[in-house]
Amino acid sequence: MKMIIDTEQRTIERQTDAGRETAALYSPQGFEWLSELWLKVGWDQKYSYTFTWLGRPLIQLPEDVLRIQEVIFTLQPEVIVETGVAHGGSLIFYASLCKALGKGRVIGIDIEIRPDNRKAIEQHALAAFITLMEGSSTDGSVLAKVRSRIAPGEKVLVLLDSCHSADHVLNELEAYHSLVPAGSYLVATDGIMRDLHDLPRGRPEWLRDNPVTAARTFVERHPEFVIEQPRWLFNESSLKRNLTYWPEAFLKRVR
């Protein structure tokens, strides 16, 4: 792909295998084209590795963080389950929302929780809102422990942010979907992998081996779920698309 930006003529031109397209630079289309490139370059430069939340590294795109906050505020779940702990920043973020809302708790699962990360999470001021579980997210015994922490009728939100291969994400979707009630979501994060296969840090197999592939396969098998981006709670612009590392990530249970 080639992109030509003309700030004097206020146009942006994109050349792909499908042909040449031109749009006004200061337009929703121009913003989307620029944003798609910005997301890819930022990912390759590890932009998301520059943020913390209340002292813990939060390896997420800031817009994704704000958008999931909107979802949590709207749903007000009693339980937030996240696979993939890393440094614990996401767990601390969700825990802070639970405290602010006056309800909810967080379960974090990882195949290996490094001792320094575990210590930092367990000593954090919000540790009372968090339960850590070590083991594979798709292991039956781990899933049984998660179920034992959820009371009948509690509203559950599940975020999948561990291994991002299509097979693993699909196995997680199959394992955790029964925890999610109608109106809530399974969130298969980091589907942007499909768009990063040709970058310096990317891998060719990501074109097909990614969370979006898993999400699409899952909804074909489970018509009670649909891929549906949550609506924005506020929008005085003409923009409609998220800037996100999580394309086609939100699988909403509709029945």
The string of pLDDT tens digits covering residues 89-137 is 999 999 999 999 999 999 999 999 999 999 999 999 999 999 999 999 9
Q: How much is the pLDDT for 1?
A: 87
Helix-, strand-, coil-residue percentages of the chain, each rounded to 5: 40, 20, 40
Percent of the chain with pLDDT over 90: 98
40 and 56 assigned to the same domain: no
Inform me whether the pLDDT recorded for 12 exceeds 90: yes
DSSP element (H, E) containing 13: strand 11-16
Q: Give the mean pLDDT of the chain.
A: 97
135 and 12 assigned to the same domain: no
Full residue range of the structural domain in which residue 15 is found: 2-44
Structure tokens at 28: 């929703």
Query: In 3D, which of 147, 152, 194 has the Cα closest to residue 169?
Result: 194
Count of beta carbons in the 10 Å neighbourhood of residue 203: 12
Domain containing residue 105: CATH number: 3.40.50.150
24 and 59 assigned to the same domain: no
Tell me the per-residue pLDDT of 165-217, one tens digit each, with 9 for 90 and over: 999 999 999 999 999 999 999 999 999 999 999 999 999 999 999 999 999 99
Number of domains composing the chain:
2
Question: Global pTM?
Answer: 0.96
Tell me the per-residue pLDDT of 20-46, one tens digit each, with 9 for 90 and over: 999 999 999 999 999 999 999 999 999
Distance between first and last Cα of the chain = 41
56 and 31 assigned to the same domain: no
175 and 237 assigned to the same domain: yes
The answer to whether 181 and 156 have CB atoms below 8 angstroms apart is yes
